[in-house]
Amino acid sequence: MRGVAFALPAGAVGGIALREDPARAAGLAGFDPVALLVPEREQVEQWRHRLDELGEPYRGVDTGHHGGKVLVGLRDPDGLEIRLYAD
C-alpha cells in the first residue's frame, strides 16, 4: 500500500488522505465510492476541459439531481470511479 495526505484550508474538513491498494480495491472496481462537490456547474465543465488537455479518460458529463452536472467515468489508479458534481 502507498498513499499521500494533504492539509486543507480551515473549514469542515481539515485534510484528506488517499491510499492505493490494488488488491483491496479490486472488489470495488467500477464503483464510485468518492464524489466531490464543486461549487458551480460551470466548474464541472472546467474539469472536463482540463482532463481533455491532460488526455485523462472519463465517460462524460451527465445531468445530475436537480438538473446539475456530474462528471462520470474518471478512474483512480485502482479503477475506482471518482465523480465530480454540482447541483
- What confidence tens digit (pLDDT) does each residue in 38-53 have? 889 999 999 999 999 9
Predicted local distance difference test score (pLDDT) of residue 67: 87
DSSP secondary structure, 40-53, as one string? SHHHHHHHHHHHHH
Least reliable range by pLDDT among 3-7, 19-23, 25-29, 75-79: 3-7
Q: What is the dihedral of CA 33, 65, 61, 69, to 10 degrees?
A: -110
Number of domains, the chain: 1
| CA-angle at 31, arms to 65 and 55, nearest 5° | 85
Residue 59 and residue 50 in contact, taking contact as beta carbons nearer than 8 Å: no
Predicted local distance difference test score (pLDDT) of residue 57: 95
Task: State the residue range of the domain holding 31.
Answer: 2-86
Q: What is the CATH number of the domain that holds 23?
A: 3.10.180.10
- The predicted model scores a pTM of 0.69
54-67 tens-digit pLDDT? 999 999 999 987 88
Residue 21 and residue 78 in contact, taking contact as beta carbons nearer than 8 Å: yes
